[in-house]
Amino acid sequence: MSIQESSPKSATSSADVLPDYAPVPPSSLGPALNDQGYYVGRVERNLYWVTDGSYQSAFLTTKDGVVLFDAPPSIGGNIRRAVDEIASANGVSNKVTHLVYSHHHADHAGASSLFDKNVIRIGHEETKRLLVRDNDPARPVPEETFADRRTLKIGGERIELEWRGPNHSPDNIYIHFPDHDTLMLIDIVNPGWAPISMSNLSEDIPGYIAAPAIALDYPWKHFIGGHVGRLGTRDDLTLHQQYMADIDASVRKALVSVDPTPFFQKYGDNPWAAVGALFDAWTEAGAAPVIEKYKGVLAAADVYTQSTVFWVMESIRLDLGFASYVHP
């Protein structure tokens, strides 16, 4: 075999050999980005959101300066530009005085160090512990922390921070703006879109599945989910809950209807081969009807449902003990 023949296909693969997916429903898309690659818009009154089409950040302009909520590195320097643009249009201060972390993950906090040392960073105490552990200069540790809940009053504005248990990450918090009819909850619901890999890469699936109901308990009209190009509504959360409930029901059905016996007969002395093939079979059986139902409803349902089904299936087996077999 020549070197050319054995070179990896992926190194030379072109766009035309990559798989096709269902078109993105127009309602899943957000406003167009400007030449610098961002969009900044008003959520309500002096609360604004910024997106690059994939990530979201938010800020409040107050009489004492700007309070920033998350600093995703993909938006990066455009956070500063968006703040400057809004502050100059409204004749208010563009000085960022506070930065609230939703959770410790680098993809939502990694541009924190762009803001100067005088910014007061606020986060959950677990966010602080994890950031101390991770020791990443891009994400300075919060100076101010809280355990269960904290009300911030900054420049005459009210912000309610609350930790309701682990979900996507151990430290992910609910950020409620009671005077702006808005809830910010990151990495749980992607409005108009399926969750990405394995339920938005969530560490605690029972907590992840419970989170939208907690979110809906707050009064609000606008939802900042941290991802995709548009804001969300209460209907987006309800649709997401239905999607996750359908996955749960479909997984339970697959777990009791796919017979493991032939997998172990075939692979005898290699139980990992049997388990691997069985996991694949359970995942495929669980995912198929859900993909069928949500294709064209939630963008990328055909891209990511299988991955989320796998992770929910493992939680149903391991956290809930469903279909657990006790040797007689």
Q: What is the contact surface with Zn ion in residues (CB under 5 A)? A: 105, 187
Least spacing, CB of residue 48 vs Zn ion, in Å = 22
Least spacing, CB of residue 195 vs Zn ion, in Å = 12
For Zn ion, the closer CB: 104 or 180:
104
For Zn ion, the closer CB: 187 or 248:
187
Least spacing, CB of residue 79 vs Zn ion, in Å = 17
For Zn ion, the closer CB: 103 or 121:
103
> How many Å apart are CA 78 and CA 280, to the nearest integer?
42
For Zn ion, the closer CB: 52 or 187:
187
> How many Å apart are CA 181 and CA 198, to the nearest integer?
30
Least spacing, CB of residue 226 vs Zn ion, in Å = 8
DSSP state, 202?
-
Least spacing, CB of residue 109 vs Zn ion, in Å = 9
Least spacing, CB of residue 162 vs Zn ion, in Å = 17
Q: Give the three-class secondary structure for 209.
A: helix
For Zn ion, the closer CB: 98 or 105:
105
Least spacing, CB of residue 209 vs Zn ion, in Å = 16
Residues 99/120, Cβ–Cβ less than 8 Å: yes
DSSP state, 309?
H
CB nearest Zn ion: which residue?
105
Give 30-54 as a DSSP string. Answer: -PPP-TTS-EEEEEETTEEEEESSS
Which amino acid would we find at residue 188? I
For Zn ion, the closer CB: 126 or 187:
187
Residues 169/203, Cβ–Cβ less than 8 Å: yes
Give whole-number Cα distances, 79 to 34, 38, 136, in Å: 13, 9, 20
> How many Å apart are CA 161 and CA 116, to the nearest integer?
23
DSSP state, 55?
B
For Zn ion, the closer CB: 187 or 302:
187
For Zn ion, the closer CB: 282 or 304:
304
Give 253-274 as a DSSP string. Answer: HHHHHS-SHHHHHHHTT-HHHH
Give whole-number Cα distances, 132 to 120, 125, 141, 255, in Å: 16, 11, 6, 41
> How many Å apart are CA 30 and CA 42, to the nearest integer?
13
Least spacing, CB of residue 156 vs Zn ion, in Å = 31
**Residue with the two structure tokens 């694949």:** 280
